[in-house]
Amino acid sequence: MELFASLRTFSFGAVALRLLGAVLCGAMVGLDREMRNKRAGLKTHVLVCLGAALCMIVSECVILGREDVTTDATRVAANVVTGVGFLCAATLINRGNGSLHGLTTAAGLWTTAIIGLACGSGWLEVGLLVSAIVLVVFAVLGRVDAQIDRISRGFDLYAELADYEEVPRLLEALHEHNVHFSGLQVTKSPVGSTIVQLSATTPHLGEKEPLAESLRALGCVRYLEMF
């Protein structure tokens, strides 16, 4: 389209539209994260996308503005991707029960930086397309992933028991449900409870939720999570 093709020029209007497009793309992804109460929300995604776009524009400006400069513009893009990787690490949460949360948000933030680079290069239509695809991934594949996880056989178990002597009772309950497990770890928490962690497999699909309810019903279990 003629409109998008004009963005590949280096006029002030084209540059302004690139930056506004980056803000729009970042807002599209960030709004979804904000509505889901994620650590990296609307402002973070907009700033990352805008900053990446500006880096790309500045590198182009330096190269076009000085004939003696032979810098490869892709170096700027590579450094942006690397730098955003450290920012993504800040969105990850280790809950201390063997589970790491925030990977989807970190991946979305990293992708938003790439979208910003595309917008900064003048490929606004590509940035908008990828932003829409990211939203579809968040909305649709998130539900599919949750459904698969709900019916899958394999899981990791984290349980807090009232006392160390209750560990055999929990393991016996797993055996009664024909659950095979490995990697058993039993530790003491700072508050005095006993923490049990293991990896397990149910004999059939769709048995995780009934199993979790059965284990939570045990009097010795203070807290239990299967993920």
Tokens representing 100 are 């790491």
Is it true that domain 152-226 has CATH number 3.30.70.60? yes
Higher-confidence position of 101 and 186: 186
pLDDT at 7: 76
pLDDT at residue 173 tops 90: yes
pLDDT at residue 64 tops 70: no
- Report pLDDT digits (tens) over 110-154: 899 889 988 888 888 888 999 999 988 888 877 887 787 778 888
Distance CA 57, CA 46 (A): 16
Tokens representing 26 are 């970042």
Query: What are the strands, taking DSSP E only, across 71-116?
Result: 93-94, 100-101
What pTM value is reported for the model? 0.66
Question: Which bin fits 102, alpha (ψ -120 to 50), beta or left (φ > 0)?
Answer: left
Burial of 136 (0-12, 13-18, 19+ CB in 10 A): exposed
pLDDT at 10: 76
Query: Are 24 and 118 contacting, i.e. CB atoms less than 8 angstroms apart?
Result: no
Cα atoms found within 13 Å of the Cα of residue 138, Cβ hemisphere only: 25
Question: Where does the pLDDT of residue 12 fall: very low under 50, low under 70, confident under 90, or very high at 90 and above?
Answer: confident
pLDDT at residue 106 tops 60: yes
Angle between helix axes 42-65 and 103-120 (nearest 10 degrees) is 30
List the domain boundaries for the chain.
2-150, 152-226
pLDDT at residue 85 tops 70: yes
Query: Are 221 and 161 contacting, i.e. CB atoms less than 8 angstroms apart?
Result: yes
Strand partners, 186: 196
**Residue type present at position 206:** G
pLDDT at residue 96 tops 90: no
Cβ neighbours for 135, distance < 8 A, ≥ 6 positions apart: 28, 29, 32
pLDDT at residue 190 tops 60: yes
Distance CA 18, CA 41 (A): 22
